[in-house]
């Protein structure tokens, strides 16, 4: 699908392309979302560019992600997709500045792109470089919102861990913390990828020659650095909470094992006495005692009480 945003337009609109398709002079942004091969060829022919393949977008080498070619500046970043669903994941997105236009190539719908498209008229965009910085601003805001939401979830889990009644179920807490850790890690990777793309964007002639764009780019770089540090702190906090939860689980399990160990030791001497007098021999000196039965019960009670008193004296109970 090919979406086009023009000056003064309320939002990007879907456009059909043909062999002789060319962007009009009022076009600021061409957004390729899961494009067909015909749409890719039409954009490449119109702008004289070679768009990267999916394999090149997923490559880790900087030369495959950040480069200048045929008068265009290519920047590929890994962004977080479906952050508020059960299975978020990272997806590559390529930003291209060429001939005063912004071209984006992606294969997953991203909320930040929709938000930017809807509010683009309010920004009074005048060039492709301004559209790029505005779009990256929306991406950074979306990542910040994701970190904020994960932070709220972590704070709720923190309160639940340390104020939880003894014997409560830890499974939902561990699940929430694990999901928060996964999303925070993906967000941090996206921020690191964005930081590299922003650093390379300063080499684009459209940005380096515009003081306003340079100032906007520097602001974005500071925001990304600040969010990266916050993501690192949040990841450490989640790791601490996971360790604390596992520690509390171990303490509770140790308490349970301790209880059964004490019970076993307390009943061991009475069991021994009962076993002795339960033997089926013809000659048992105490067999015909009138007070044999109460004496045996008393002996078992004393044998059970002595370990309990000993454990209390040692502070084990």
| Backbone φ, ψ for residue 133 (5° rounding) | -70, -35
The answer to whether residue 140 scores a pLDDT higher than 90 is yes
**What is the pLDDT at residue 124?**
67
**What is the pLDDT at residue 165?**
64
Alpha-carbon distance of 37 to 32, in angstroms, equals 11
Residues 30 and 102: beta-carbon distance below 8 Å: yes
Tens of pLDDT along 39-60?
888 888 888 888 888 887 887 6
- Residues paired with residue 29 on neighbouring β-strands, in sequence order: 5, 102
**What is the pLDDT at residue 60?**
64
**What is the pLDDT at residue 226?**
93
The answer to whether residue 123 scores a pLDDT higher than 60 is no
What percent of the chain is modeled with pLDDT above 70?
94
Residues 202 and 133: beta-carbon distance below 8 Å: no
Confidence grade of residue 245 (pLDDT, cut at 50, 70, 90) = confident
**What is the pLDDT at residue 225?**
93
> Mean pLDDT over residues 293-303, rounded?
83
Per the structure block, which two tokens stand in for 19?
């062999």
- How far apart, in Å, are the Cα atoms of 226 and each of 134, 148, 150, 191, 216? 18, 13, 16, 10, 15
Confidence grade of residue 167 (pLDDT, cut at 50, 70, 90) = low
Residues 286 and 273: beta-carbon distance below 8 Å: no
Tens of pLDDT along 68-77?
888 888 999 9
The CATH fold assigned to 2-251 is Beta Polymerase; domain 2 (3.30.460)
The answer to whether residue 86 scores a pLDDT higher than 60 is yes
> Mean pLDDT over residues 14-40, rounded?
82
**What is the pLDDT at residue 303?**
84
Residues 62 and 95: beta-carbon distance below 8 Å: no
Lookup result for tokens 């171990």: 250
Selection from 269, 266, 287 nearest residue 277 by Cα: 287
| Backbone φ, ψ for residue 62 (5° rounding) | -60, -30
Domain 252-314: CATH superfamily is: Magnesium transport protein CorA, transmembrane region (1.20.58.340)
Strand pairing category for 101-106 and 27-33 = parallel
Confidence grade of residue 219 (pLDDT, cut at 50, 70, 90) = very high
Alpha-carbon distance of 218 to 201, in angstroms, equals 11
Domain boundaries in the chain? Answer: 2-251, 252-314
Task: Give the H or E element holding residue 65.
Answer: helix 62-65
> Could you tell me which residues come within 8 angstroms of residue 188 by beta carbon, excluding any fewer than 6 positions away?
228, 231, 232, 235
Tens of pLDDT along 198-212?
988 888 888 888 888
The answer to whether residue 257 scores a pLDDT higher than 80 is yes
pTM for the model stands at 0.76
**What is the pLDDT at residue 220?**
92
């Amino acid at each position: 699908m090919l979406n086009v945003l023009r000056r003064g337009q309320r939002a990007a609109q879907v456009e059909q392309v043909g062999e002789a398709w060319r962007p009009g002079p009022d076009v600021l942004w061409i957004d390729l979302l899961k494009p067909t091969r015909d749409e890719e060829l039409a954009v490449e022919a119109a702008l004289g560019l070679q768009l990267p393949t999916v394999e090149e977008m997923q490559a880790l080498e900087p030369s495959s992600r950040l480069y200048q070619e045929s008068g265009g500046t290519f920047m590929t970043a890994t962004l977080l997709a479906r952050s508020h669903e059960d299975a978020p994941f990272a997806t590559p997105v390529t930003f291209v500045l060429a001939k005063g236009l912004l071209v984006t190539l992606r294969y997953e719908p991203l909320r930040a792109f929709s938000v930017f498209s809807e509010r683009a008229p309010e920004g009074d965009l005048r060039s492709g470089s301004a559209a790029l910085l505005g779009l990256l601003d929306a991406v950074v805001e979306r990542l910040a919102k994701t970190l904020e939401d994960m932070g709220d979830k972590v704070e709720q889990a923190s309160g639940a861990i340390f104020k939880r009644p003894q014997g409560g179920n830890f499974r939902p807490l561990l699940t929430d913390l694990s999901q928060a850790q996964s999303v925070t890690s993906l967000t941090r990777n996206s921020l690191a990828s964005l930081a590299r793309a922003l650093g390379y964007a300063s080499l684009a002639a459209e940005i380096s020659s515009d003081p306003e764009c340079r100032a906007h780019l520097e602001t974005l770089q500071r925001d990304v650095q600040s969010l990266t540090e916050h993501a690192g702190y949040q990841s450490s906090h989640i790791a601490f909470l996971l360790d604390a939860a596992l520690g509390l689980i171990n303490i509770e399990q140790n308490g349970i094992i301790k209880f059964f160990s004490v019970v076993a030791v307390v009943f061991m001497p009475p069991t021994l006495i009962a076993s002795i007098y339960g033997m089926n021999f013809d000659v048992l000196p105490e067999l015909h005692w009138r007070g044999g039965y109460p004496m045996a019960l008393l002996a078992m009670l004393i044998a059970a009480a002595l370990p309990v008193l000993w454990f209390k004296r040692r502070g084990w109970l």
